[in-house]
A and B are shown apart, each in its own frame.
Chain A
Amino acid sequence: MFNFEKIVPSIPYILEGIGVTLQIVVGATILGLILGILLALCKIGNIKPLRWFAAFYTSIFRGTPLVLQLMLIYYAVPQVFDIQIQAIPAAIIAFGLNSGAYISEIIRAGINAVDKGQMEAAKALGIPYSKMMKDIILPQAMKNILPSLMNEFITLNKESAIVTVIGAMDIMRRAYVVGGSTFTYLEPLLIAGLIYYVMTLVLSFLGQMLEKRMRRSD
């Protein structure tokens, strides 16, 4: 039933997709993290227009399909702004903007879960807002945030497979290409699945290690 022999020579080609996938996922995570922190600060702050903006942003990106956002950025941006955009940067931007919305919610919830007394104690000592956030609130919020953030990262790693629709040469796309050229789809797809699964396991393991380290001060 299976015929892996036929595609063995193509395995290194599929494995190279790991680099592309990681590039997209890491790039998007960094962008998403920066955006997420900024949006979360807007959400917990007192400036109404910024709160509205952050809420609106989040609802748009959570309320529409990711694949739509991806295609809009890849196809619509060149049309509107008259610039060329490559598949990988387009994917990084789309995933980054999208996960910024989710990450901002994760961070907001993590900050809100910190005991209100911490903020009051900091205020009563005259600690300015930015230092209070950076040194008192966020380090405590990190304990709540980190597990969810790791989940988001893992989800992103799997979901990044949809970049195949804009032709980025990630793991998924390469498996599909190999399938097309050898006329055997099942085996390369199974190999792609195995690669994603192993990556997820590794990321989960790293996440658990990180959490353990964070817990040491308790």
Chain B
Amino acid sequence: MIKIDNLKKSYGKNEVLKGISTEIKEKEVIAIIGPSGSGKSTFLRCINRLEEPTAGVISIGGVEITDKNVMKMRENLGMVFQHFHLFPHKTVLENLTYAPINVKGVTKEQATKLGEELLTKVGLFEKRHEFPNRLSGGQKQRVAIARALAMNPTAILFDEPTSALDPEMVKEVLEVMKSLAESGMTMLIVTHEMGFAKEVADRVLFLDGGILVEDAPPEEFFSAPKSARAKEFLEKVL
């Protein structure tokens, strides 16, 4: 469904992504792992064009992403950030309904209904009229996931969704993501939660130095990594 062909990205002379190609099928859950600075965030952000790729082709559902159709594409491709980025001046429910109403033209009633359903799903219905700064980190991230879902996306990108959370809140967010994966959502997840990757991902992409070093099912990757770099990395983190 998402096809990435020879994706390159440079910041000045610094080549951060050195030609990445892969294809993500519908309903696939992809864990992207690798050392800090290896280009994981840049890779995700090139997919929805928060960063402009230097070279390469990305297509979604057979349609090549260009500057012209990028806005339309973003409507159907959710993103969840490490630091949530909820809109602080809007209530939890308004965070969920703003984009459906203003981007997709959904009626307020419909958006509210869907928003409340999603909040129920992530266990935060009672918080719908609170402002985000009244929530804990874990709750904020669950709202952020619900906000992405409110656009009814075909896939969601996650950039270290649990890295900014206190340890006791990691689980509640991973639970939500797990049930999302089980419901058949296509997901690309940059994560350092190896247990979660092992359990939930269909495939692991291991990035190092801007190169896609390994692309394998988790059983294979975690028990018998092919490259020396992946072995070294796993020894450090496991």
Q: Which residues of A contact B (CB under 8 A)?
A: 115, 117-118, 120-121, 123-128, 131, 135-136, 139-140, 217-218
Residues of chain B from 62 to 87 with CB closer than 8 A to chain A in the complex: 71-75, 77-79, 81, 83, 85-87
Provide the bound-state CA to CA distance between A36 and B236, in Å. Answer: 54
Q: Report the nearest A residue to B82, measured CB to CB.
A: A117
B36 within 8 A of A: no
Interfacial chain A residues near B73, Cβ < 8 Å: 126
Provide the bound-state CA to CA distance between A85 and B88, in Å. Answer: 47
B74 A124 Cβ-Cβ under 8 A: yes
B53 → chain A, closest Cβ, in Å? 16
Contact of B75 among A120, A121, A126, A140 (CB under 8 A): A126
A124 B87 Cβ-Cβ under 8 A: no
Q: Report the nearest B residue to A142, measured CB to CB.
A: B89
A139 B89 Cβ-Cβ under 8 A: yes
Q: Chain B 12-55 against A: per-residue CB contact (8 Å), 1 yes, 0 no?
A: 00000000000000000000000000000000000010100000
Interfacial chain A residues near B131, Cβ < 8 Å: 217-218
Contact A126-B99, Cβ < 8 Å, known A117-B81, A117-B83:
yes
Provide the bound-state CA to CA distance between A19 and B226, in Å. Answer: 82
B155 within 8 A of A: no
A129 → chain B, closest Cβ, in Å? 9
Interfacial chain B residues near A217, Cβ < 8 Å: 88-89, 131
Interfacial chain A residues near B74, Cβ < 8 Å: 123-126
Contact of B50 among A120, A131, A140 (CB under 8 A): A120
A128 → chain B, closest Cβ, in Å? 7
B133 within 8 A of A: yes
Contact of B87 among A118, A120, A218 (CB under 8 A): A118
Q: Report the nearest A residue to B151, measured CB to CB.
A: A125
Mind listing 9 A-B residue pairs with CB under 8 Å? A120-B50, A123-B50, A124-B78, A125-B98, A126-B71, A128-B71, A140-B88, A217-B88, A217-B89
Interfacial chain B residues near A131, Cβ < 8 Å: 102
A120 B81 Cβ-Cβ under 8 A: yes
B103 within 8 A of A: yes
Contact of A125 among B72, B88, B99 (CB under 8 A): B99
B102 A127 Cβ-Cβ under 8 A: yes
B86 → chain A, closest Cβ, in Å? 8
B103 A126 Cβ-Cβ under 8 A: yes
Interfacial chain B residues near A136, Cβ < 8 Å: 87
Provide the bound-state CA to CA distance between A125 and B73, in Å. Answer: 10
A126 B72 Cβ-Cβ under 8 A: yes
Contact of B103 among A117, A118, A120, A127 (CB under 8 A): A127
Residues of chain B from 137 to 156 with CB closer than 8 A to chain A in the complex: 147-148, 151
Q: Report the nearest A residue to B147, measured CB to CB.
A: A125
Interfacial chain B residues near A125, Cβ < 8 Å: 74-75, 78, 98-99, 103, 147-148, 151
